[in-house]
Amino acid sequence: MTEGTPRRTLLIVDDDEELLRSLAFGLSTDRWHCLCFPSWKEASQRLGTGIEPNAAIVDLHLVHDLPSSGFDVIRGLANRFPTLPILALTGYPDYQGAAKRCIEIGAVQFVRKPIEIGELEERLDQAIWIHARHRKALEAEQAERKAAEEQAAESIQHIFCPDESPFVGGLQIQQASEPAATVTGDYYDYASFPVGQEMLVAIGDAQGPGLRAALNAHLVGGAWRMLLKITGELKIIGEVPDPALLLGVINEFLFPRDAEDPGITLLILRINARTRRVSYANAGHPFPLVFRGDRIEELSATGPPLGLRDHAIYRNGEFDLKEGDLLLLYSDGVTSVEVPAEEDECAQLQGEGLVREVRSLIQEGRTRNLPARLLRHLLRQSGKPHFEDDCTVVTIEVTRSGGAEPEQSRIGFGQSR
């Protein structure tokens, strides 16, 4: 052993006390510090004090632990210490079945008694080497699979989170989104209905960053587009679906969610650009804000997040937009950004802080590219290289009266990359 290299801890569980003493004497060298126990019960108590072994030797027949066995010990160690190389010992002559089972539940090597200390040391070294190679191969495989899954999720994501907003006369629509990871759990999409100059806007958030949230967001996006195609082509509920009804159907599609899944928020707005009438329904998403001169209105009608409650009921709220109004939609990642506060401390942005930041940016450069400018500003304010949660902002501004009614009547979605 190289000078200065610390001894590694070897856990030995064997109820043959004579053999246990022999193993402890033969293996306790400058390479190994042996912790020897005649039963798993005693070993568990010692491991409960925070000791983590670097390798383990386990006898399969443990009289002191009956009715459990060495198989139970190996399984318990493998679950408790996933990176632990385990060597199994047995004195039984018929060992083929036992050897296969040991490997299946977490052992790396299988050894028959009696065995010399020198050979046992070699087999122990082999077990450590095999386990290390297996762990590296597994980590590489997992990394490759994760990269492939994220690439697939990112490709799908571009379909449901369009780069360009639909044109609806009198409404200027802008958006920006920054994921915390490679993919995002935030979701937004548009559907325009040229006849009548109406449109639907959806913005949602599958809670938590990462691949699972992104896949949940894609699930919502697929349900959203499927419903709009059905209702538009079959004219089940008219050309422009009702937001509350859409939320109810999507909720039934997603229910029940995994018990560990905190649910998905979704806000849907139906906007008539000619009358400037807006109806909306909210499934637990942050409340939209209407900037109307010096006044701010919060659209607080809401319901439960999607997928958590069977037959959840959602209700529409309604309001009228006026020329010059700015409607701000955003995900909760925006209000969770920590920005400088009083006494050199940082605090999450929250509602009033968000209003202050938006007003400041409007005064600086009016509303042009407001979503992207807001996200860049918040990231600078946070002092961090990236957001810790997915952040999405959509703005809808009333700029002028609606234009002439277009001739086409089919549903149009936002343009993707």
Burial (CB count <10 Å: 0-12, 13-18, 19+), residue 53 = buried
Please tell me which residue, 146 or 417, carries the higher pLDDT value.
146
Choice between 348 and 17, residue whose per-residue pLDDT is larger: 17
Mean per-residue pLDDT, 27-47? 83
138 pLDDT exceeds 70?
yes
What is the pLDDT of the chain when averaged over all its residues? 82
CA of 87: how far to CAs of 30, 57, 59, 99, 273, in Å? 20, 5, 9, 11, 72
Average pLDDT estimate for 15-25:
83
**Peptide bond between residue 67 and the one before it cis (omega within 30 degrees of 0):** yes
Structural domains for the chain: 8-137 (3.40.50.2300), 161-408 (3.60.40.10)
More reliable by pLDDT, 204 or 217: 204
Tell whether the model's pLDDT for residue 129 goes beyond 90. Answer: no
Number of H helices, E strands in the chain: 10, 18
Angstrom distance (rounded) from CA 123 to CA 125: 5
User: Do 14 and 27 meet the contact criterion of CB atoms below 8 Å apart?
Assistant: no
pLDDT for res 316:
96
Mean pLDDT to the nearest integer, 155-177 = 76
Residue 156 has pLDDT above 70, yes or no: no
DSSP conformational letter for 168: B
Give the phi and the psi of residue 228 in degrees, each rounded to 5. -65, -35
When pLDDT is averaged across residues 144-161 and rounded to a whole number, the result is: 64
- pLDDT tens, position by position, 257-291: 776 677 899 999 999 988 999 999 999 999 999 99
The predicted model gives 219-231 an average pLDDT of: 86
Q: Report residue 238's pLDDT band, with 50, 70 and 90 as the boundaries.
A: low
The answer to whether 10 and 57 have CB atoms below 8 angstroms apart is yes
- Most trustworthy range by pLDDT among 39-53, 96-110, 296-310: 296-310
What is the model's pLDDT at position 399?
84
- Expressed in angstroms, the distance from the first to the final Cα of the chain is 58
Q: Do 158 and 115 form a contact (C-beta atoms < 8 A)?
A: no
pLDDT in tens, 53-110: 888 999 888 877 776 788 888 888 888 888 888 998 887 766 677 888 888 888 888 8
Q: How confident is the model at residue 317 (pLDDT cuts 50, 70, 90)?
A: very high
Return the pLDDT at 302.
94
Mean per-residue pLDDT for 343-351? 61
Q: In the prediction, which pLDDT does 415 show? A: 47
CA distances from 10 to 25, 231, 274, 314, 413 (A): 12, 67, 77, 60, 63
State residue 122's pLDDT score: 83
- Checking if the pLDDT of 19 tops 90, the result is no
Task: Label residue 326 by pLDDT band (50, 70, 90).
Answer: very high
- Tell me the C-alpha distance between 282 and 224, whole Å: 14
Confidence at residue 405, expressed as pLDDT on a 0 to 100 scale: 42
The predicted model scores a pTM of: 0.63
Average pLDDT over residues 36-50: 84
pLDDT grade for 152, boundaries at 50, 70 and 90? low
What's the rounded Cα separation, in Å, for the pair 261 and 216? 10
Buried/exposed 303-320: b ≥16 CB within 10 Å, e otherwise: bbbbbbbeebebebbebe
Q: What is the pLDDT of residue 142?
A: 76
pLDDT tens figures, 366-407: 888 999 999 999 999 888 888 988 999 999 999 865 444 433
Closest Cα partner for 243 from 279, 278, 277? 279
Paired with 198 in beta bridges are 193, 272
Q: What is the pLDDT of residue 233?
A: 64
* Average pLDDT score over residue span 23-41: 82
Contact 13, 59 (CB under 8 A): yes
CA 385 to chain CA mean position, Å: 20
Please list the alpha-helical segments (H only) found in 28-177: 40-47, 70-80, 96-105, 117-160
